[in-house]
Structures are given as C-alpha cells and as structure tokens.
Amino acid sequence: MPHRSTEDSHLAPDRDLEARRRHWVLFRAIDRRRNPPLRRTDITVTDEPTVRRAVKAAALGNAMEWFDFGIYSYLALTIGKVFFPSGSSTTSLLSSFATFAVAFLVRPLGGAYFGPLGDRIGRKKVLALTMIMMSLGTVCIGLIPSYDTIGLLSPALLIFFRLIQGFSTGGEYGGASTFIAEYAPDKKRGYFGSFLEMGTLIGYTGAAGIVLVLNTVLGPEAMVHWGWRLPFLIAGPLGLVGLYLRLRLDETPAFQKFEAAQAHGATEAHGRSEEEPSHLSANHRGKKLGEIFTQNWPAILLCIALVGAYNITDYMLLSYMPTYLTDTLGYNETHGLLILLVTMVALICLLPTVGRLNDRYGRKPLLMTGMLGFLILAIPAFLLVKMGSLVAVSCGMALLGLSLVCLLGTMSAALPALFPTSVRYGSLSIGYNLAVSLFGGTTPLVITALMDAFDKNVMVPAYYTMGAAVVGVVAVAVMKETAQQPLDGSPPSVATEEEARAIIASRTHEPRF
C-alpha cells in the first residue's frame, strides 16, 4: 500500500472543494442553458382587477356563444318535427340529431383555420370573429321556412347554417381557454379557468331556461308552428353584447411578450425546455399545420383522449339527457328540462370551488376523481333515473353531475398547459375539435342509434359513458402535473411583486463552499 504524505492529506480537502466547485459550475452552465436567468421584466405580475375583467369578458362571451349552440339541443324534438317530418318519431329524432352532429364534423376545420390564425394575429381578434359568425348562423336558423313551406330546401338550409355554427365554434374553446390561461397567474390558473366552463354552463342554462318558459307558455302546437324560432332570433342582440365585450379586451400578456420577442428577433423564450425548437424567429410566423402535428403530436393525442372522454360525458348529461328523459322514459318535456336546469345551476355554484381545489392539490387528482366517478357511478345513476320518480331522477343526475363538475372545473386549466405559447391556440383547437367532432357531438346520435339497435335498452347511455371513462382514466394517468407551474414557452406569471422576487432569488441562489 503506497504511503500517503502529510502534504497530500492536507491538500485532499482542498481538492475535494475544488472538485465540488467545478461540478457546480458545470451544473450551473447546464441549468442556465435550460432555465436562463430571470430578470424582473421577464416575469409577468398580474393586476387582479384586470385579470378578473378579462376573465369575465371571455367567460360571458363564451356564454353567449354556447347559448347559441345549446338552443338546438333543447329543441331537438321540435326541430325534428319542423324540418324532418316522417311517420316515425325515432327517424325524425335521428335526423335532428344527425344535423346536430353535422356541425361537429366541421369543427376540426374551424379549429385548423382559427387556431393558427390566433397564434399569428392574436387571441382577441379571432375570438371576436368567431362570435360574429356564430351569431349570424344562429339568427339565420331562426329565419328558415319549415319543410311544409319550401320542402327539401328547408333541411338543406338548416344543415348549411349548422355548418357555419360548427366552423365558428372550432375557434371558440381553444381561444377562450388559451386567453384565460395566459392571463391568469400560475397559482390561480385553475380558479380563473373554471369561469370559462361557468360561462359554458350559463349559456346552456339560459338556452334551457328560455326553451322551458316557451314550452310552458306557448304549448307544443305553437312551439312547432313558430315558437321554436324565438330563441334563435334572440342570438342576434346577445351576439352584439358578446362582441362588444370581446373587442374591449386587451391581448394576453403572454402573447404580447411573444410578439415582442418576435419583433426583436429573439431566438429563445424564457421557460422553454432545451429540446423545444425556437418558435420565436420570424421564420416561424407562418407555421404550417404539418409542423404543429410534427412537433406536438404526443400532446395532441393526449388532448384528444382527454377531451373525447370528457365530452362524451358532458354531452351525454347536458345535451342528450332531456331527450332521454322525454323520448325514452316518457317524462314530461318540461319536467326533464327543469331537472337539468337545477343540475346545471348546482354545477355553476360548485365550479369555483373545484378550480381552487385543482390549484391546491393538482389537476390530475381532480380529473381522475371525475373519470373514476363516471366509471363507478354511471350504472347506479342510470338505475336511479330509470326508476322515474322525481327524487330518484334527481339523485341520479346529482351523481353524474358531481363527476362532471370535477372535469368541468379542471379541463380549462389543464388543456392549455399541454402546448407551448407559440402554437397553443392552434394545437389546442385542433386536438380539442377533433375529439369533440369524433366523440362529443356524435354522442346523442350514437346513443339514440344504439338504443334503437338494442330494443330500447335504457342502460345503453351508462355503458357508453363507462367506456369513455376508461379512456379518460388512462389519459389522466399518463399526463404530467402542471398546477402552479408556468405555461410552456412563457415566463412565470405571478400575482404579487413578492412572488416575483422569490422566483428570481430561487434562480440565482448560489451555495456556500
């Protein structure tokens, strides 16, 4: 064994210290490359009144748009009689739901058009454009003469204006959820995002409420002759209100920083991972759809799985259930709408609480709770609904509603975080609308057809919902947790100056040797 000199033993601690310093310098060099040092100007400190004003305007605009879209769901039976008269009520209803589904077939085209456009010219302008198109399409539906008046031209015009509705809706959810996500501070994105779905439910509730009042006041005969037109015509002035609100909005801070970086020829964005190619050079302004799919296809597939499972459960409860109660279980049409109205009002009240919970405990626990809820509770819920009594139907709807609210209050914060800022609107719009087109909008049609094929088996909606929930459980299991973290491709967004200083300090902390 070689002899170790006294000098060497004295130098050993110094050599160890020097090695540790070299390792730290190397680590800091790598870390700074992945996470460049932050300056105060890089961090967005949000002004809460401004955020609340932006969220309120986006959510109210969203409510106006989904009011337009929801009207058709709640008038499906009446529209079937007006535009698709036949000897079979099932055939008439299937034709009505097929036209409902047609609007969803063009939603991916709308998402593919409006999404990249929103990434190029800004979220605000595109959201105003979608509002105009939706309102015009809805008002025109209310002006179409009936089948008895102009024959086959009547359903043809209905399909045409439904296509306009669907195309405009393709740019709605991706833009509105992106808008709110980019405005909200990182630690409150779930809470503020929940107001987007609150707007959706308010729109559906308003549509259901108006249809309920008209059915009660006018009666079935007057509704078929002319009363069904009124909710569609109301969309005109409501659309003007929504357009006014959206035009008053400022562009999101994240997109403003993105544009500023483009203008100055920046090659890197703070908070961007090492592997992510720069989206900030001028060469990327006209990003093609092929590039979005090439660079973000894993996130798009995950988005499709999450949204597909979520939308099947959503449209099953909020769009199909009134028809299920009336056409399948023989419930009074007014009673079915009234139960759904109460359910949606309860969901609206619970949404902010769910938003706060997913900010605190994470997106994945809340999403998994909702998916497992549908998987486990779908059969008990529909068995209760099948019993037919008011108490049993209400309890069944409550079980489904509690599962759905976990998804409603979380998805609008979870989905935008899947994509980087430079392609967020486009990628989310494409993934979301592909899923909605394939699975969400077809839900009423598929369930109606399956029930007809299986001799009016009233449990078919439960089995269909459970299948969707299985896909959702797998998707949630593989997604990453994004709560309280900056959006990919954007610098941190905080609520106070103290939080900004704390983040800068954590990035510049050096150890003592």
Tell me the CATH number at 474.
1.20.1250.20
**Contacts with 256 (C-beta within 8 Å, 6 or more apart), sequence order:** none
Identify whether 74 is part of a domain: yes
Residue found under tokens 């719009």? 429
Q: What is the mean pLDDT of residues 154-178?
A: 88
70 has pLDDT over 80: no
- Look at residue 36 in the predicted model and tell me its pLDDT: 57
**Contacts with 227 (C-beta within 8 Å, 6 or more apart), sequence order:** 214, 218
When mean pLDDT is compared over 43-57, 94-108, 117-131, 341-355, the highest value belongs to 341-355
pLDDT category of residue 83 using cuts at 50, 70 and 90: confident
Distance (Å, rounded) from C-alpha 507 to C-alpha 509? 6
144 has pLDDT over 90: yes
16 has pLDDT over 80: no
422 has pLDDT over 60: yes
Pick from 92-96, 404-408, 426-430, 474-478: least confident: 92-96
192 has pLDDT over 50: yes
Give the rounded distance of the alpha carbon of 44 from its chain centre.
24
76 has pLDDT over 60: yes
Identify whether 380 is part of a domain: yes
276 has pLDDT over 50: no
58 has pLDDT over 90: no
41 has pLDDT over 70: no
Q: What is the pLDDT of residues 444-459, one digit of tens each?
A: 888 888 888 887 788 9
Query: Is residue 458 within 8 Å of residue 327, measured between CB atoms?
Result: no
263 has pLDDT over 80: no
Query: Is residue 187 within 8 Å of residue 484, measured between CB atoms?
Result: yes
pLDDT category of residue 104 using cuts at 50, 70 and 90: confident
219 has pLDDT over 60: yes
264 has pLDDT over 70: no
pLDDT category of residue 157 using cuts at 50, 70 and 90: very high
Pick from 160-169, 251-260, 300-309, 336-345: least confident: 251-260
Identify whether 212 is part of a domain: yes
13 has pLDDT over 70: no
- Look at residue 416 in the predicted model and tell me its pLDDT: 93
- Look at residue 87 in the predicted model and tell me its pLDDT: 60
What percent of the chain shows pLDDT beyond 90? 28
Q: What is the pLDDT of residues 299-358, one digit of tens each?
A: 999 999 999 999 999 888 877 887 788 877 887 767 777 888 888 899 999 999 999 999
pLDDT category of residue 79 using cuts at 50, 70 and 90: confident
- Look at residue 266 in the predicted model and tell me its pLDDT: 45
- List beta partners, residue 45: 494
Identify whether 331 is part of a domain: yes
Q: What is the mean pLDDT of residues 385-410?
A: 91
Q: What is the mean pLDDT of residues 356-364?
A: 95
What percent of the chain shows pLDDT beyond 70? 83
Q: Which residue has the higher pLDDT, 421 or 305?
A: 305
Mean pLDDT (the chain) is 81
286 has pLDDT over 50: no
Q: What Cα–Cα distance (Å) separates residue 446 from each residue in 101, 141, 401?
A: 10, 24, 21
pLDDT category of residue 271 using cuts at 50, 70 and 90: very low
**Contacts with 2 (C-beta within 8 Å, 6 or more apart), sequence order:** none
**Phi, psi of 204, rounded to the nearest 5 degrees:** -65, -40
Question: Would you tell me the crossing angle of helices 89-105 and 443-453 to the nearest 10 degrees?
Answer: 150
- Look at residue 200 in the predicted model and tell me its pLDDT: 86
DSSP one-letter string for 362-394: -HHHHHHHHHHHHHHHHHHHHHHHHH--HHHHH
Q: What is the mean pLDDT of residues 292-302?
A: 86
Identify whether 233 is part of a domain: yes
Q: Which residue has the higher pLDDT, 39 or 151?
A: 151
- List beta partners, residue 493: 44
273 has pLDDT over 80: no
Q: Compute the chain's Rg from CA coordinates.
A: 26
- List beta partners, residue 494: 45
Distance (Å, rounded) from C-alpha 230 to C-alpha 208? 13
Identify whether 311 is part of a domain: yes
Prediction pTM value: 0.78
- Look at residue 322 in the predicted model and tell me its pLDDT: 78
Identify whether 10 is part of a domain: no
Pick from 33-47, 92-106, 297-311: least confident: 33-47
Residue found under tokens 């009240």? 349
267 has pLDDT over 50: no
Torsion of CA 422, 360, 368, 429, to 10 degrees: -20
Q: Which residue has the higher pLDDT, 251 or 1?
A: 251
The boundaries of the domain holding residue 411 are 45-259+294-508
How many domains, in total, are found in the chain?
1
Identify whether 434 is part of a domain: yes
pLDDT category of residue 438 using cuts at 50, 70 and 90: confident
pLDDT category of residue 512 using cuts at 50, 70 and 90: very low
